[in-house]
Structure 1
Amino acid sequence: MGSVVRIVILSVIFLASLTNCQEGILHVSDGSTQREFCIVHNHSWTALAQSLDTATVYPLVNLTSQLLCNSSGITPDLVKGKAVVVMRGDCDFSLKALNAQELGATALLIASNKTLVTPSANESEYAKVTIPLALMRYMDFLEAQKVFTGEMQVKLYAPPLAKLDASTLVMLLIAIITVALGGYWSGACERERLNSGQEDGGKGESKADSGELSLYSPLKVVLLVLVMCGMLVLMYYFYRILVYVIIAIFCLASANALFFCFDAVLDQIGCGTIRFSVRNWNFSVRSIILASVCIVIAVIWGVYRNEDRWIWILQDILGIAFCLNFIRTISLSNFKICVILLSLLLVYDVFFVFITPFFTKNGVSIMVQVALGPDASGEKMEGNMVQVPAEPQPPTEKLPVVMRVPRFSGLAQNLCGMQFSILGYGDIIIPGLLIAYCSRFDVWVNSSWKVYFSSCCTAYLMGMIVTFAVMLLSGMGQPALLYLVPFTLITSAVVAGCRGEMRRFWTGTSYEILDSSRKPLLPEGRTERDVEGDKC
């Protein structure tokens, strides 16, 4: 046990430690005014200071009329002991750096009209360069010239980036609260139906009285997953057309989901309503107000969906409501269906994240390409290489299928482009359907401690922690279902086995064989042997 604790502590320390990043900051001042701009550098060159206070001050010399592919025509006295800014092009970064170093410059900035990439060279070239080297946007340099009319003093530094950003914790909190609330809501609805003694009729697939849809057929589950695969492939090939269809559907679905969430909250706090009739049509004042508010929120998101600074708040609110209502509306009839659905979606997630890069032209997985959009190059990384647009990019349409929380640390990253932690809706909804089934089963067996629900929520939390830990350790995005599905399915099965209720848990409840009172399947504390011979 002691060794396990030590390993956990060391892992937490490692995850919370600081790491260098490829983006840096160019601090420009003239004594009275100061501005900061994005730069991109490489750790293999001379390392930059980690803070503004420890960074060295250099006078800046404007040589943007030069490419510095050779030192001819440049007086050493002009650049000696100063930082030099030249234009990108015609020769390697290492040659520019060696020429600047030979002339006596103390730092080299390369202004670029192209996408900023991590400056690289042959391994043998790195050791020859002893001065700091970084790329900056040419438009930033032009802006600096307008702001600073006199001599510019510059500092180059790269603040270390915390591996465990606060946005990750916020995302974890959003995920666990959403699945817990969705599961609790589903269980509360089931208890209400049991208490009211309502019949749903048929085979339990369609419940018109509650607007729910129950999945009870393995064939339908397989068809559902195949449809999802087909939709993802279509989105990959016809993204620029279908993205607007998905945005429109999301606006309608999320507004509807937000209405049901607000309505349920008002019911819980006992908020009354006023009703009136117009030509035999009954209306509720509360419903009209709620519908108006929800529609306005969805419309605002739809209009300003590409505004990164604040629209993520509305997208997360609408996304949480969408996930909650989906978990409440879609019910899995038994554990067998849960196993089939979650296992198939696990394979689906792993295949489209890890396998499809071998078949795509750009080597990016279909899942990532669809989630980020084909033009979201500013958010894509390949190994230790980063890409930062040299000029403002037109807004790119992205699918509203993820929760987004901006990184709270990393000043350099936010200067170079706003960075987000993301979590797909599927990583909340799919395990949430199992949690909802566990919550309903607690109602059926009259579990006072909600043992299935609470244990499955705990397993989901542990699975999310492992997902984030692997992501931080590997530096790569992970298919969360790869960890969430085993954690939740195995935990639920173990609980059912330990309580002697595995057969009931596996087969669930068939509404058509229950009596009119729809009493719980097994009272708390009873086993199948206690009810042998009981008739439905």
Structure 2
Amino acid sequence: MDKAGVFMIVSLTILTSQINCQEAILHISNGSKEQEFCIVNNQSWTPVSKSLDTAVQYPLVNMISTLLCDPSGVSPEVVKGKALVVMRGDCAFSQKAVVAQALGAATLLITSNKTLVTPSANDSDYSKVQIPLALMRYMDFMEAQQVFGDEMEVKLYAPPSSKIDASIGVMLLIAICTVALGGYWSGACERERLNLDLGGASGDNKADSEDLPVYSPIKVLLLVAFMCGVLILMYYFYNILIYVVITIFCIASASALFNCIHAVLELMGCASGRFTIHNTTFSVRSLILACVCISISVVWGVYRNENRWIWILQDLLGVAFCINFIKTISLSNFKICVILLTLLLVYDVFFVFITPFLTKNGVSIMVQVALGPDASGETTPGNVAVPALPQTPAETLPVVMRVPRFSSWTQNLCGMQFSILGYGDIIVPGLLVGYCSRFDVWINSTKKIYFLSSCIAYLMGIITTFAVMLLSGMGQPALLYLVPFTLITSATVAGCKGQIKQFWTGTSYEVLESSQEPLLPEARPDHPIEAEPC
């Protein structure tokens, strides 16, 4: 797998905002049949009942032949005390609602052939409207008319959706387990490498290491500059590069999944049958495992837009990708960790909060790339956009963990809702956790104090992120909390143990004519270290 391709994936690990949904439900019946449809309303403007039992039932008057921008041609006796359905267009939602209210209508439904967005108005218009107002799909109303005819009774209600959903707990578990496993694996590989050095392993064996050390601030600057370039290219050439990113992700995630499962099988001591063809030896276990991993990646690539179940495969591949990346990229000292995490924090803040002032549509480059070209419709927290017609799902970057909101499954008429977490919120602090794990190996720490403290700091940081998100009702840039939590905690532990200098300088394998020697003396213990599988 080309290193540039992997770095391209990592450079697109985006902190995607969650949307505070405004969907509601339209219950239609005629005495013998009943059916429910998705509608969109503004709860802060015209709230509706929270349950079907408490909702008021109204007869429905079909007037989709009119736009209701004025009361002409509509008799008050026909619509008084009833739910009125009209067509979208020509005038503002609030104007239609004021006219319907003046005619005596109890509820206004506006059918639309365009994307359903949260109804809004000027501040002065909000107080004028006292009746519930909602948008529904034109195709849904035509379907209801075929099923029920003209005799329809309707109820509008919006079941309360708890902010604290079980999916957040699942997401927290995925995040902390991924970071901990990646960090532990990084430390285990370092322990095995040191044992190979003590055992006099040949240079050829050392060259087989898949680790990519980052020991120079120049490398860090080049990496961040590369990420900025990739993000900007994605912004301008999204429709082309999205398929390049998807292809790279399929290859990289399949390789990562193979490495992760192969390491587990090695740890379990599973047998590996071998056979030889033309003087080339093959492992039966590796071949079968490679076929399985490639198949999973291909299935995800083919069905990547099937929201109902494909999120399981995406999360599986994502976890493997993040674990393998944390294990593979090794930061050589705490100074590099501070530089990298700080620059990425600035990178994230700039592309999320500053670039909206520089783009034509007022959407940040980060959000535009994360959500695709149609991101402009979802820039305001609390707004939603429900397609009015069946559409081919828009391609999005596969750089987030996704878990469906369990509380919305039973009322999922408007589309699945997900709790999401960007890969960057796992990988970036995970690289620091990996360094702490390797440092524990260098100083022969049996309690793994640096590794455990950094994992706890990450857990506290991610909990804080979700807590602020729930309290504010807005998506949060997780690195804003994760970077300070992990950096400060790691530095504090090193200071309390009197090892801040060693922790800061770490070890750097410099390319010299002589053999490579780690700068940290604790990396050469006086007694052999028991190897852990890598």
Note whether the superposition's TM-score is higher than 0.5.
yes
Q: Is the 8 A contact 1:259 1:290 kept in 2?
A: yes
Q: Following superposition of structure 1 onto structure 2, how do residues 277-296 of structure 1 map, counting pairs within 5 Å?
A: 277-296=276-295
Q: Which of residues 371, 376, 390 is equivalent to 1:392?
A: 390
User: Against the structure 1 CA distance between its residues 201 and 271, is the aligned structure 2 distance closer, same or farther, given a 3 Å change threshold?
Assistant: closer
User: Against the structure 1 CA distance between its residues 414 and 451, is the aligned structure 2 distance closer, same or farther, given a 3 Å change threshold?
Assistant: same
Q: State the one-letter code of the partner of 2:431.
A: L
Query: Matched residue of 1:134: which SS?
Result: strand
- What is the match of residue 245 of structure 1? 244
Q: State the one-letter code of the partner of 2:441.
A: V
Identity %: 72
Deviations 1:113-138 (A, max 9, x none): 12222223343433333322111111
Deviations 1:328-382 (A, max 9, x none): 111111111111111111111111111111101111111111112113567x241
Shift of 1:293: 0.2
Q: State the one-letter code of the partner of 2:497.
A: R
User: Against the structure 1 CA distance between its residues 72 and 428, is the aligned structure 2 distance closer, same or farther, given a 3 Å change threshold?
Assistant: same
- What is the match of residue 368 of structure 1? 367
Q: Following superposition of structure 1 onto structure 2, how do residues 283-432 of structure 1 map, counting pairs within 5 Å?
A: 283-376=282-375, 380-410=378-408, 414-432=412-430
Does residue 94 of the first structure (1) align with residue 103 of the second (2)? no
C-alpha distance in structure 1 between counterparts of 2:252 and 2:195, whole Å: 30
Q: Is the 8 A contact 1:44 1:126 kept in 2?
A: no
- What is the match of residue 16 of structure 2? none
Aligned-pair Cα RMSD in Å: 2.5
Q: State the one-letter code of the partner of 2:208.
A: D
C-alpha distance in structure 2 between counterparts of 1:199 and 1:367, whole Å: 48
Shift of 1:507: 1.4
Q: State the one-letter code of the partner of 1:115.
A: T
Further displaced range: 332-341 or 255-264:
332-341
Shift of 1:520: 3.5
Q: Is the 8 A contact 1:159 1:411 kept in 2?
A: no
Query: Matched residue of 1:161: which SS?
Result: coil
User: Against the structure 1 CA distance between its residues 359 and 522, is the aligned structure 2 distance closer, same or farther, given a 3 Å change threshold?
Assistant: farther
Shift of 1:198: 5.7
C-alpha distance in structure 2 between counterparts of 1:470 and 1:282, whole Å: 55
C-alpha distance in structure 1 between counterparts of 2:201 and 2:331, whole Å: 15
Deviations 1:281-301 (A, max 9, x none): 110000000000000000001
Q: Is the 8 A contact 1:377 1:387 kept in 2?
A: no
Q: Following superposition of structure 1 onto structure 2, how do residues 256-271 of structure 1 map, counting pairs within 5 Å?
A: 256-271=255-270
Q: State the one-letter code of the partner of 2:32.
A: S
Q: Is the 8 A contact 1:333 1:509 kept in 2?
A: yes
Q: State the one-letter code of the partner of 2:424.
A: G
Q: State the one-letter code of the partner of 1:170.
A: V
Q: State the one-letter code of the partner of 1:164.
A: I
Q: Is the 8 A contact 1:467 1:478 kept in 2?
A: yes
C-alpha distance in structure 2 between counterparts of 1:129 and 1:482, whole Å: 41
Shift of 1:443: 1.1
- What is the match of residue 41 of structure 1? 41
C-alpha distance in structure 2 between counterparts of 1:418 and 1:111, whole Å: 22
C-alpha distance in structure 1 between counterparts of 2:367 and 2:411, whole Å: 20
C-alpha distance in structure 1 between counterparts of 2:326 and 2:201, whole Å: 19
Shift of 1:317: 0.5
Q: Following superposition of structure 1 onto structure 2, how do residues 134-533 of structure 1 map, counting pairs within 5 Å?
A: 134-149=134-149, 151-196=151-196, 197=198, 208-376=207-375, 380-410=378-408, 414-511=412-509, 514=517, 520=523
Q: Is the 8 A contact 1:26 1:157 kept in 2?
A: yes
Shift of 1:510: 3.9
Shift of 1:521: 5.3
C-alpha distance in structure 2 between counterparts of 1:43 and 1:523, whole Å: 69
Deviations 1:432-483 (A, max 9, x none): 1110111111111111111000000000011111112222233332221111
Q: State the one-letter code of the partner of 2:168.
A: T
C-alpha distance in structure 1 between counterparts of 2:478 and 2:80, whole Å: 53
Shift of 1:246: 0.8
- What is the match of residue 26 of structure 2? 26
Deviations 1:187-219 (A, max 9, x none): 1111222233367899xxx95222111111111
User: Against the structure 1 CA distance between its residues 221 and 198, is the aligned structure 2 distance closer, same or farther, given a 3 Å change threshold?
Assistant: farther
Q: State the one-letter code of the partner of 2:239.
A: R
- What is the match of residue 54 of structure 1? 54
Shift of 1:81: 2.5
Query: Matched residue of 2:374: which SS?
Result: coil
- What is the match of residue 85 of structure 2? 85
Deviations 1:76-128 (A, max 9, x none): 33323221111112233233223323333221111111222222334343333
Deviations 1:112-166 (A, max 9, x none): 1122222233434333333221111111101111222362111101122222222
Q: Which has the higher contact order (CA 8 A, sep 6+)?
A: 2
Q: Is the 8 A contact 1:159 1:412 kept in 2?
A: no
C-alpha distance in structure 1 between counterparts of 2:306 and 2:134, whole Å: 29
Aligned residues: 502
Deviations 1:508-535 (A, max 9, x none): 12455648xx9645799xxxxxxxxxxx
C-alpha distance in structure 1 between counterparts of 2:276 and 2:458, whole Å: 47
C-alpha distance in structure 2 between counterparts of 1:474 and 1:125, whole Å: 26
C-alpha distance in structure 1 between counterparts of 2:202 and 2:337, whole Å: 22
Query: Matched residue of 1:24: which SS?
Result: strand
User: Against the structure 1 CA distance between its residues 118 and 523, is the aligned structure 2 distance closer, same or farther, given a 3 Å change threshold?
Assistant: farther
Shift of 1:427: 1.2
Further displaced range: 106-115 or 403-412:
403-412
Query: Matched residue of 2:406: which SS?
Result: coil
Shift of 1:21: 5.0
Q: State the one-letter code of the partner of 1:291.
A: A
C-alpha distance in structure 1 between counterparts of 2:44 and 2:397, whole Å: 37
Q: Is the 8 A contact 1:194 1:519 kept in 2?
A: no
Further displaced range: 135-144 or 27-36:
27-36
Q: Structure 2 length normalisation: TM-score? A: 0.88
Query: Matched residue of 1:162: which SS?
Result: coil
User: Against the structure 1 CA distance between its residues 200 and 172, is the aligned structure 2 distance closer, same or farther, given a 3 Å change threshold?
Assistant: farther
C-alpha distance in structure 2 between counterparts of 1:76 and 1:171, whole Å: 53
Query: Matched residue of 2:373: which SS?
Result: coil
Q: Is the 8 A contact 2:21 2:383 kept in 1?
A: no
User: Against the structure 1 CA distance between its residues 287 and 184, is the aligned structure 2 distance closer, same or farther, given a 3 Å change threshold?
Assistant: same
Q: State the one-letter code of the partner of 1:409.
A: S
- What is the match of residue 68 of structure 2? 68
User: Against the structure 1 CA distance between its residues 281 and 430, is the aligned structure 2 distance closer, same or farther, given a 3 Å change threshold?
Assistant: same
Query: Matched residue of 1:249: which SS?
Result: helix
C-alpha distance in structure 2 between counterparts of 1:269 and 1:165, whole Å: 36
Q: Is the 8 A contact 1:446 1:523 kept in 2?
A: no
C-alpha distance in structure 2 between counterparts of 1:81 and 1:523, whole Å: 89
Shift of 1:302: 0.6
User: Against the structure 1 CA distance between its residues 142 and 207, is the aligned structure 2 distance closer, same or farther, given a 3 Å change threshold?
Assistant: farther
5+ residue gaps, structure 1, are: 1-18, 525-536
User: Against the structure 1 CA distance between its residues 376 and 419, is the aligned structure 2 distance closer, same or farther, given a 3 Å change threshold?
Assistant: farther
